[in-house]
Amino acid sequence: MSLSKGHFCFKSDKTIYHIKTNKMKEFMLIIRTQGDHLAELSPEQQQQHVNQVMNYMSGLMNSGKLNSAQPLDMEGVIVSGTAGKFKDGPFNETKEVIAGYFLIKANSLEEAIQVAKDNPVFEVGAGARIEVRPIKVMEGING
């Protein structure tokens, strides 16, 4: 058994168990792309990208870092205004759009940034950006 700052691991039945001893923080990674970044890919390239994303996600899941992740469709509506006087209309999908999200756990903002940098969207989406946002802990909501 080894003990280091933040986590320890032990070996049992030939399996190595990693136990996190500190509380990880939650982060929302917002994937921003220039329009539909998959539209230009061939079916084979799309399949390859899906496989890469699946590998990326199972890596995060195995290390206990993934809470949930999903891609978002291009169609959608933006609601604005004030209660009683709403406008809702389509948003501009030819410019930067939110293409998906990853809700993750990490020990620090730096680790969350590293997880974002590993995202395979950077292999396919020219101009892709990922916004790394700490989840806010508010009493009465999630605190």
Partner 1 sequence: MLSPDKLREHIEHGTAYIGKYIKQGNIKSAQPLDRGSRIVSKTDGLLKDAPFNETKEVIAGYFLIEAETLEQAVAIAKENPIFDDIKSKIEVHPIKPIPT
For residue 51, the minimal CB distance to partner 1 (Å) is: 11
Residue 61 backbone dihedrals phi, psi, to 5 degrees: -65, -45
**Which distant-in-sequence residues (6+ apart) come within 8 Å of 90 by Cβ?**
75, 76, 77, 78
Nearest-angstrom CA–CA distance, 58 and 20: 18
For residue 71, the minimal CB distance to partner 1 (Å) is: 4
**Helix, strand, or coil here: 28?**
strand
103 beta partners: 28, 68
Nearest-angstrom CA–CA distance, 76 and 9: 45
The mark string for 5-44 relative to partner 1 (x by CB under 8 A, - otherwise) is: ---------------------x-x-x--------------
Side-chain half-sphere CA neighbours of 135 within 13 A: 19
Q: Which is nearer to partner 1, 24 or 135 (CB)?
A: 135
Strand 96-106 to strand 25-34: parallel, antiparallel, or no bridges (unpaired)? antiparallel
The mark string for 91-110 relative to partner 1 (x by CB under 8 A, - otherwise) is: x------x-xx-x-----x-
Instruction: Establish if 59 lies at the interface with partner 1 (CB under 8 A).
Output: no
- Which one of residues 81, 92, 94, 95 is an interface residue with partner 1 (CB under 8 A)? 81
Question: Which residues of this protein are in contact with partner 1, per CB under 8 A?
Answer: 26, 28, 30, 46-47, 50, 68, 70-73, 75-83, 86, 88, 91, 98, 100-101, 103, 109, 113, 116-117, 122, 127-136, 138-142
